[in-house]
Amino acid sequence: MTAAELDAIHLTLVLAGTTTVILMLLGTPLAWWLARRSGNLPALVEALVAMPLILPPTVLGFYLLLLLAPDSAMGALWQQLTGQRLAFSFSALVIGSVIYSLPFVVQPLQAAFARVPASLLQAAATLGATPLDQFRSVVVPLCRRSFLVAACLGFAHTVGEFGVILMIGGNIPGETRVVSVALYDYVESLQFAEAHRLAGILVVFSLALLFLLYRSNSHPRMGEAR
Amino acid sequence: MSALTLDLRCPGADGFVLAVSEQLSLAGITAVFGASGSGKTTLLECIAGLRRAAPGSRIAFDGERWLDDHHHLPPWQRDIGYVFQDARLFPHLNVQNNLLFGQRRKRTTGSPTLEAVCDWLGLHALLHRAPDTLSAGQRQRVSMGRALLAGPRLLLLDEPLANLDGDSRRQCLAALRHAIAASCIPALYVSHDAEEVSHLADRLLILDAGRVAEHGAMLELSSRIDSALARDEQAAAIVRCTLAAHDSQFGLSELHCEGNRLWVNHLPGAVGTQHRLRIPARDVSLCRERPEGTSILNILPVQLDAIEPGDAPRLLVRLRVGEQHLLARITRKSAAILQLKAGDRLFAQIKSTALLTETAEPA
């Protein structure tokens, strides 16, 4: 394996890891809010969260590119604060990935939170637990598996990202050139042997992750809740 | 003695409104009694802070404001212990950690220890079990223990025996009663079962369509012929008796009540202990003369105190025995034939099967 390929794999893992951490931090309160509220606003937010599931990644990438460009408000502000360009940077990839993989984290969490009986939270409240304490000591343990599912799906989906990255990240080695983009390069220059190697790595990685995830499914915890 | 001041309005479904303005002096067990839909659970949820009452409502407990126009103390800051109808044990924790959940978060001192609570409720053998391996009765006992260990100043029990029947119901009732008495924490106990109420309650709050119909001491209210309890098919008087002797030859125990002898099935208690006897009105019949040659053992001389007015086919009659009262439900036709009126001296016959449901008075 070449140094460039190892670079691409390393970058992909860092991007997916960073994105997953941010997604878990943002997605958990968002999913909790969506699971406990109903009305027009939550429905609209839920629809927005689900948009990356159906939009072509190029559409999302296109708007993100406009948003992050140096002449946009956000791009200019970023440049002022950091002295760096935002578009075609690693940071841009993280922003794009967070939006692109959001539904894969929020939806399993939201479904799990909705299954936690409100009656158990009432019981915890009468026993002296504040809402945050109720979440930590009742909801989190009951939804432990869904947190695992959400993190794995968020991670795997970010690894498999291509369209958004190409639109807002380009193909800068060590900065934005992730495995899927490197693979595209190989195919475009007809280096099929190298392409096979990268494609094979992605297939094995994805299969292994999903296999481990579904195998751990044999002990559902929520089924015990009443 | 704790004081609970309620000035509550809480709208529910279908135009139902709970409206309670009451000053409750709480000691021992106060039963909240009423038909389904009379607002019992709503009342408990308002007291616990699990349900928002309408603006203008007020709750204060021992001088501490729990609810008024400027203030809504959340449930986790009210020192309550709540036992729900469906137990609500945490499925991811074993019995011991369920029990300790509230204790780890309590804000008060001097609550009972895990050891004591396990003794009261018979939980020692269950500590390492998962909640889904428990029977319904065991779950309620754990739920009760969990509430007690949270160090409450007020216990709220919402029909904890509703999902139990037969022996497990009786055992659970005895365990709850014992635990409440041993912990010395005042309790509000919601029930729609007149028999359960008469076993447990020291005081009674009767709700009817969201309003307080009656509120007072159990023994006094249970002997009234015009109360909501009297309308119940299970209407019964409660009398206090002293266990006088055991008759092992016939398997009976002798009780003394206001200078009269009563025979009941063998009681577990010691001679000299106080017992509470529940005598259902439908099991009491009346005679002008002392009946001779009858199989009925328990015959008490009584004085007729009052007859329920109205023209229903069956009437409730209140009878005086010394300082206490019995109730009898007889047909209006019998009342006419016997020409019953207040002040008459009569004999009350009590079917012995009626006396099976005795409970020991807490010391």
pLDDT of A174 reads 81
Residues of B in contact with A226 (CB under 8 A): 86, 91, 132
Nearest CA in chain B to A127: B102
Q: Is the pLDDT of residue A171 over 90?
A: no
Full set of structural domains in chain A with CATH: 3-217 (1.10.3720.10)
- Of the candidates B84, B86, B102, the beta carbon closest to that of A128 is on B102
Burial of B162 (0-12, 13-18, 19+ CB in 10 A): middle
For range B311-332, the mean pLDDT: 90
A109 vs A217 pLDDT, higher one: A109
Tens of pLDDT, residue by residue over A113-148, are 999 999 999 999 999 999 999 999 999 999 999 999
Average pLDDT, chain B: 88
Nearest CA in chain B to A123: B88
**SS3 per-residue string spanning A184-196:** HHHHHCCCHHHHH
pTM of the full predicted structure?
0.82
Q: Do A122 and B50 touch (CB under 8 A)?
A: yes
Residues of B in contact with A122 (CB under 8 A): 50, 75, 84, 88
Residues of A in contact with B90 (CB under 8 A): 120, 123-124, 138
**SS3 per-residue string spanning chain B:** CEEEEEEEEEECHHHCEEEEEEEEEECCEEEEECCCCCCHHHHHHHHHCCCCCCCCCEEEECCEEEEECCEECCHHHCCEEEECCCCCCCCCCCHHHHHHHHHCCCCCCCCCCHHHHHHHHCCHHHCCCCHHHCCHHHHHHHHHHHHHHCCCCEEEEECCCCCCCHHHHHHHHHHHHHHHHHHCCCEEEEECCHHHHHHHCCEEEEEECCEEEEEEEHHHHHCCCCCHHHHCCCCEEEEEEEEEEEECCCCEEEEEECCEEEEEECCCCCCCCEEEEEEEHHHEEEECCCCCCCCCCEEEEEEEEEECCCCCCEEEEEEEECCEEEEEEEEHHHHHHCCCCCCCEEEEEECHHHHHCCEECCC
pLDDT of B167 reads 85
User: Directed axis angle between helix B95-103 and helix B136-149, to 10°?
Assistant: 30
Burial of A207 (0-12, 13-18, 19+ CB in 10 A): exposed
Q: Is the pLDDT of residue B172 over 50?
A: yes
Q: Is the pLDDT of residue B357 over 80?
A: no
Query: At which residue do the structure tokens 């447990």 appear?
Result: B200
Q: Is the pLDDT of residue A220 over 60?
A: no
pLDDT of B205 reads 93
Residues 6+ apart with CB under 8 A from A6: none
Contact status, residue B8 vs residue B57, Cβ threshold 8 Å: yes
- Of the candidates B49, B76, B82, the beta carbon closest to that of A129 is on B76
Contact status, residue B292 vs residue B349, Cβ threshold 8 Å: no
| Residue A188, CA distances (Å) to A163, A181, B58 in order | 15, 11, 75
Both tokens of A205, joined, read 């990685």
Task: Please give the Cα distance from A74 to A96 (Å, whole number).
Answer: 14
For range B209-223, the mean pLDDT: 86
Residue A148 to chain B, least CA–CA distance (Å): 17
For B:79-138, CB contacts with A below 8 A are 80-82, 84, 86, 88, 90-92, 101-102, 105-107, 130, 132
Tens of pLDDT, residue by residue over B180-198, are 999 999 999 999 888 788 8
- What distance separates the 2 farthest-apart alpha carbons in chain A? 67
Sort strands B29-33 and B58-61 into parallel, antiparallel or unpaired: unpaired
The band of A216, judged by pLDDT with boundaries at 50, 70 and 90, is confident
Q: Do B76 and A130 touch (CB under 8 A)?
A: yes
Residue A223 to chain B, least CA–CA distance (Å): 9
Q: Do A127 and B50 touch (CB under 8 A)?
A: no
- Of the candidates A119, A126, A128, the beta carbon closest to that of B107 is on A128
Cβ contacts from A onto B, under 8 A:
66
Q: Give A175's Cβ-side CA count (13 Å radius).
A: 14
Q: Is B255 on the interface with A (CB under 8 A)?
A: no
Both tokens of B203, joined, read 């005081």
Q: Do A122 and B107 touch (CB under 8 A)?
A: no
The band of A203, judged by pLDDT with boundaries at 50, 70 and 90, is very high
Contact status, residue B234 vs residue B270, Cβ threshold 8 Å: no
Burial of B36 (0-12, 13-18, 19+ CB in 10 A): exposed
Task: Please give the Cα distance from B206 to B212 (Å, whole number).
Answer: 6
In the chain, the amino acid numbered A191 is Q
pLDDT of B189 reads 95
Mutation target vs B (from A120, A122, A127; most B CBs, 10 A cutoff): A127
The band of B67, judged by pLDDT with boundaries at 50, 70 and 90, is very high
- Residues of A58-67 as b/e, b for ≥16 C-beta within 10 angstroms? eebbeebbeb
Q: Would you state the torsion angle of the CA atoms of residues A6, A12, A15, A16, taken in this order, to the nearest 10 degrees?
A: -130
Q: Is the pLDDT of residue A224 over 50?
A: no
For A:134-153, CB contacts with B below 8 A are 137-138, 141-142
CB atoms within 10 A of CB A78: 21
Q: Is the pLDDT of residue B82 over 60?
A: yes
Query: At which residue do the structure tokens 């904890």 appear?
Result: B160
pLDDT of B353 reads 53
Residues 6+ apart with CB under 8 A from A114: A35
Tens of pLDDT, residue by residue over A58-85, are 999 999 989 888 888 888 888 888 888 8
Chain-centre distance for alpha carbon A183: 21
Q: Do A126 and B107 touch (CB under 8 A)?
A: no
- Of the candidates B84, B92, B132, the beta carbon closest to that of A123 is on B84
CB atoms within 10 A of CB A81: 9
What percentage of residues in chain B have a pLDDT greater than 70? 97
